[in-house]
């Protein structure tokens, strides 16, 4: 379930959801994806534009889904505990993936996107033991993610955007997200970085359709061969960018694949410059609508730690603590495979090394 999905935030039928990069129910071991591209320069042609996915590429949910559901339930007069929600998360995002696999075109329609998320959220509420309040809880949960206060930036985002802007590289967003995307980006103070912000439900196109990438290229004024697209989803981001002629870059924050770009270039210098800085955009309970971290601040990384192989490098709680449930809103099961032509990075600042 990947979105704001972006992704790729849910509630009124007029406001669909969004997260455009979905996460699998459990993290897989690091793959043996071949590494053939050299460091620090992976491309032999000038790049004029960089497009980004949003969910799990630039933004992560800033509130554990357990906290969101507990607060929503309380507002309806029901009571939920952390365990009630946590033990049913997998079934909830399995339903999302089933719906996504059946027809992903809902990402191009605001009402259908909203309906999907309300269905998933209500399903989780019923599984968690509050069937009578399920519909009301679903609407509150959906609405929660319409606001910038429910999101945070990964640590590597601002250093990367600042460096690209300093180089004169044009930037844009291409996300399977609803109409709340642009307001969220603006409220987070990121609007000045991007020449175009494309939310799938607004333009009624969705990744991996070629048309949404063509629209982005037209708006930013460059050829596909002069642009790269950075995203976390193999099908929506990598597959979509490839068929549109852009160079895809997979941002693999869960370290499922071996990286192409290694430390040592401009990206490494940017990392050193901000070493030890806490995550940008960390939200407070007040900013998130009084939904605090409480005792339910269990990260996705902690939930799957027992099932995964040791990562290539240890990630921080902020980097890996993206809600598996909300992150999955950005897409569905990856169907494009990792190959020796795919550029894989674990830190967004490594984009600087391939331009």
Residues of the chain with pLDDT under 50: 1-41, 262-263, 275-294, 298-335
- At residue 60, φ and ψ (nearest 5 deg) are -130, 150
Residue 227 near residue 47 (C-beta atoms within 8 A): yes
End-to-end CA distance of the chain: 31
- Peptide bond connecting 208 to the previous residue in cis, omega within 30 degrees of 0: yes
**Where along the chain do its domains lie?**
49-353
49-353: which CATH number, 2.60.260.40, 3.30.200.20, 3.30.390.30, 3.40.50.1000? 3.40.50.1000
Other Cβ atoms less than 10 A from the Cβ of 316: the count is 12
Burial of residue 223, with CB atoms counted within 10 A of its CB: 0-12 exposed, 13-18 middle, 19 or more buried: exposed
Instruction: Give the pLDDT confidence score for residue 42 in this predicted structure.
Output: 53
Instruction: Give the pLDDT confidence score for residue 271 in this predicted structure.
Output: 60
* Residue 345 host element (H or E): strand 343-345
CA separation for the pair 215, 211 (Å, rounded): 6
The tally of CA atoms less than 13 A away on the side-chain side of residue 125 is 29
Q: How far is CA 40 from CA 170, 268, 283, in A?
A: 21, 10, 35
DSSP labels, 105-171:
GGGG-HHHHHHHHHHHHHHHHHHTT-GGGHHHHHHHHHHHTTSGGGEEE-TTHHHHHHHHHHTT-EE
Instruction: Give the pLDDT confidence score for residue 341 in this predicted structure.
Output: 74
Q: How far is CA 194 from CA 49, 62, 172, in A?
A: 10, 22, 5
Residue 217 near residue 313 (C-beta atoms within 8 A): no
What b/e readout covers 104-129, taking b as 16+ CB neighbours within 10 angstroms? bebbbbbeebbbbbbebbbbbbbbbe
């Amino acid at each position: 379930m990947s979105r704001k999905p972006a992704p790729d935030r849910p509630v009124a039928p007029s406001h669909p959801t969004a997260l455009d990069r979905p996460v699998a129910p459990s993290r897989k071991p690091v793959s043996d994806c071949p590494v053939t591209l050299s460091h620090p320069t992976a491309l032999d042609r000038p790049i004029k534009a960089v497009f980004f996915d949003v969910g799990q590429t630039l933004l992560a949910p800033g509130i554990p889904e357990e906290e969101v559901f507990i607060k929503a339930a309380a507002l309806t007069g029901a009571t939920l505990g952390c365990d009630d929600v946590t033990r049913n998360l997998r079934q909830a995002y399995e339903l999302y993936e089933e719906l996504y696999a059946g027809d992903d075109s809902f990402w191009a329609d605001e009402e259908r996107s909203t309906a999907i998320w309300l269905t998933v959220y209500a399903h989780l509420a019923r599984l968690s033991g509050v069937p009578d309040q399920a519909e009301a809880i679903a609407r509150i949960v959906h609405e929660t993610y319409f606001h910038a206060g429910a999101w945070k930036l990964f640590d590597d985002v601002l250093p990367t955007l600042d460096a690209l802007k300093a180089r004169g590289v044009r930037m844009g967003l291409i996300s399977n997200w609803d109409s709340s995307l642009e307001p969220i980006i603006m409220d987070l103070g990121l609007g000045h970085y991007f020449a175009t912000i494309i939310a799938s439900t607004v333009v009624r196109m969705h990744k991996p359709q070629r048309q949404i990438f063509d629209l982005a290229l037209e708006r930013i004024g460059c050829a596909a061969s002069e642009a790269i697209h950075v995203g976390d989803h193999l099908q929506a981001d990598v597959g979509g960018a490839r068929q549109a002629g852009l160079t895809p870059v997979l941002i693999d924050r869960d370290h499922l694949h071996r990286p192409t770009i290694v430390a040592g270039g401009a990206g490494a210098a940017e990392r050193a410059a901000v070493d030890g800085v806490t995550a940008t955009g960390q939200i407070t309970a007040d900013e998130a609508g009084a939904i605090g971290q409480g005792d339910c601040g269990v990260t996705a990384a902690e939930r799957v730690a027992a099932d995964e192989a040791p990562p290539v490098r240890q990630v921080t709680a902020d980097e890996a603590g993206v809600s598996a449930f909300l992150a999955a809103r950005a897409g569905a099961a990856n169907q494009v495979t990792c190959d020796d032509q795919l550029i894989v990075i674990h830190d967004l600042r490594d984009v600087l090394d391939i331009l």
